[in-house]
Amino acid sequence: AAAGGCGAALSSSAPDGGEPDEDEMARRVDAFLRDMTSVVRQVNHEAALVDYLRGLRAFAGWQLDRRTSIKLQDMLYAFSNPGGPVFPTRSVRQAARATMDVLFP
């Protein structure tokens, strides 16, 4: 999946050269997801958008910053409803709903 390819970058060494601790990984995932919500909104290709939305499910269970969580929920909600401002296709709406169910049960 699209988000699955980020694992190496997210888990690379910590600033001190060692392995990143849990807090450092949480910060990296949080920053990645904040950026990802902005990028995903700009994707116009349906199949790519569905792949991105499905890839986000890999982050289920992570403790996210409240702002990141709200931003992610807002993006998924916009893609899960028909009409403006996004006008998503049926497959995008279904992927967004399924992703929201996984990330925010």
pLDDT digits (tens, 9 = 90+) for 20-48: 788 888 899 999 999 999 999 999 999 99
What local confidence, expressed as pLDDT, does residue 17 receive?
63
Residue 98 sits in which domain range? 3-103
Q: How many angstroms separate the CA atoms of 69 and 51, rounded?
A: 20
Backbone angles phi and psi of 62, in degrees to 5: -75, 140
Cα distances (angstroms) measured from residue 49 to each of 12, 18, 35, 42, 69: 26, 35, 15, 9, 19
Q: What is the pTM assigned to this prediction?
A: 0.78
Number of domains composing the chain: 1
Q: What is the mean pLDDT of residues 57-71?
A: 93
Q: What is the largest CA-CA distance in the chain?
A: 48
Distance CA 101, CA 19 (A): 32
